[in-house]
Structure 1
């Protein structure tokens, strides 16, 4: 995210020097940027038969994002965030913390928000908050040899499936207007997500992910 911080610093400098611009009623905006998703994992145990205390941890990933919004009023906007799948590595935790990587999964989390943008449309800096939903779609779940050794020693490769879910999300951020057409914003999104995992060997596991996303994007007003 080092480049993103540099970009934000440049945007702040331009915002101070440039003229104010509006993000107002009836206006469309499009943004392109990067999002880093970091799951805040609270893992349940793999069900029996498995070593008691068998848990999982999930790594972070960064991917490009495409975001579209429409101004319903001067202060209220509707926003849709789309992107490419995030690729997360799964690691053993708890009683199996020493086993290393036990699998990978791709997650595609399109999100929709209703935002409240503070201050007048002409303001150069506009904080905003949002509430919405995220559809967490999981695909390409792949188990490693370590997972097979844990759940099906000597048997065929262990596979697993994660059920996709809709989850509530909260958003907070700040927009920097550079000129009448261009702007930069940064935001954080907290999603409250608990998933159900089913293994080919019959065990199940519940995992509270509650991911935190940090998004930096450059936008254009139409």
Structure 2
């Protein structure tokens, strides 16, 4: 699944909103819990700083995306306002050299857990078949199980011990845009896109540091059940 551009998603929401029709389906309403199982593709939009000296000039990095299963829990505070969070496995990202060190291959691996609590506004009446929604959330970006490669050691600490690294954990904000479609009294499908604004810093055991702007975009799809 490719990451959708923001304008494409806005068009999708506009089209689905135009198709809204009243039905007997029970869309999320006040006091109702929903549970959604699906997958989320998380793709960092990397703007890399340089590894500090001693290092080759313009030593930058890029980070791969990953797709993992998620379980999303939502509670309706009112007919239009809800809170939501997701449970899932850590995202596994590979780190590669970029710019002046683009040919060095994989430099390391890291696992990331981004738990987020969203406050959402869901448009239209609870009995509408199609309900677009927007959300704003607080994310804690937690990085774990970092592993450096031989290529990383060769770039940062030639002749020395293997280079390890850590990435600063951060609280940050996330925006959300999506649409839910009810196809029976209890079951629904949901498509959502999130954008997180994340700046952090990498600390190498060899003494160098590197500023990283990650700004990951998530695209998720799932099937849900209303309790």
**TM-score greater than 0.5 by the shorter chain:** yes
Aligned 8 A contact 2:25 2:186 in 1:
no
SS of 1:98's partner is helix
Distance (Å, rounded) in 2 between the aligned partners of 1:115 and 1:126: 12
Number of the residue aligned with 2:95: 90
Q: Which runs of 4+ in 1 moved over 2 A?
A: 18-22
Number of the residue aligned with 1:81: 86
Number of the residue aligned with 1:180: 185
Distance (Å, rounded) in 2 between the aligned partners of 1:19 and 1:121: 10
Number of the residue aligned with 2:125: 120
Matches within 5 A, 1:172-211: 172-211=177-216
Counterpart check, 1:152 vs 2:157 = yes
Report deviation, 1:163: 1.1
Number of the residue aligned with 1:52: 57
Number of the residue aligned with 2:145: 140
Report deviation, 1:19: 4.4
Distance (Å, rounded) in 1 between the aligned partners of 2:27 and 2:158: 62
Question: Where does the alignment leave 5 or more consecutive residues of structure 1 unmatched?
Answer: 3-11
SS of 2:57's partner is coil
SS of 2:194's partner is strand
For 2:175, which of 170, 179, 184 is the aligned residue?
170
Aligned 8 A contact 1:194 1:208 in 2:
yes
Report deviation, 1:21: 2.3
Aligned 8 A contact 1:82 1:111 in 2:
no
Number of the residue aligned with 1:6: none
SS of 2:118's partner is strand
Aligned 8 A contact 1:182 1:220 in 2:
yes
Report deviation, 1:20: 2.7
For 1:107, which of 112, 125, 129 is the aligned residue?
112
Report deviation, 1:46: 0.5
Report deviation, 1:22: 2.3
Report deviation, 1:169: 0.2
CA RMSD of aligned residues (A): 1.6
